[in-house]
Amino acid sequence: DNVCASAEMVLCGQMFHENGCRDFVRVGTCDSFDRNYHPTKAPADPEGENMSAAAAQYYYAEPSAVFQAKLEAAMPLPVVLLVGCGLWSLSLFLDPSIGGFRLYINVWNVLGFLLAALVGPIIAYPVRQATLERNTDRKQKACVSLVVVLVLLVGVVIADPKVQNARIWYISVIGVMLLVGSYPILQHSCRMGRRWDLKGKPKSNDEIFVHTMGTPLLFWGVALFWIGTNSVQMADLNFTYLPLFTNVSRSWVVFVAGMLMIVPAQLALDLAFDQGSELVAVSESYSIYKLDGSTVKNIVASVEWLPSGYIGTALESPIWWSLGWILMALCCFLPFGVTSLTIQQFCAMSICVAMAPLYACFVVPAFWKNDLTAFPKCCFVYCAVMISWAVAIGINGGIALILSFMGVFLVLAGQRFTLFERKRGIPRPHLPMIES
Residues 398-418 pLDDT 10s: 788 888 999 999 999 988 888
Q: Tens digits of per-residue pLDDT, 245-279?
A: 776 778 888 888 998 899 888 988 988 888 888 88
Q: Residues 287, 362: contact at Cβ < 8 Å?
A: yes
Phi, psi at 96, each rounded to 5°: -75, -10
Q: Tens digits of per-residue pLDDT, 195-242?
A: 888 877 777 766 777 788 888 899 889 988 888 888 877 766 666 566
Q: Which residues contact 23 (CB under 8 A, 6 or more apart)?
A: 1, 52, 54, 55, 199, 200, 201
Parallel, antiparallel or unpaired: strands 279-283 and 14-17: unpaired
Least confident range from 118-132, 145-159, 282-296: namely 282-296
pLDDT band at 67 (very low <50, low <70, confident <90, very high): low
Compute CA distances 14 → 18, 73, 108, 329, whole Å: 13, 11, 31, 38
Q: Tens digits of per-residue pLDDT, 291-303?
A: 888 888 888 887 7
Q: Residues 363, 426: contact at Cβ < 8 Å?
A: no
Nearest-10 crossing angle of helices 136-159, 107-122: 160
**pLDDT value at 39 more than 60:** no
pLDDT for the residue numbered 304: 72
pLDDT band at 136 (very low <50, low <70, confident <90, very high): confident
Closest C-alpha to 359, from 332, 331, 386, 334? 386
pTM of model > 0.75: no
Phi, psi at 243, each rounded to 5°: -75, 125
Closest C-alpha to 186, from 164, 161, 156, 218? 218
Distance CA 36, CA 194 (A): 25
**pLDDT value at 369 more than 70:** yes
Please state, for a pLDDT cut of 90, what percent of the chain lies above it.
25
Number of helices and strands in the chain (H, E):
18, 4
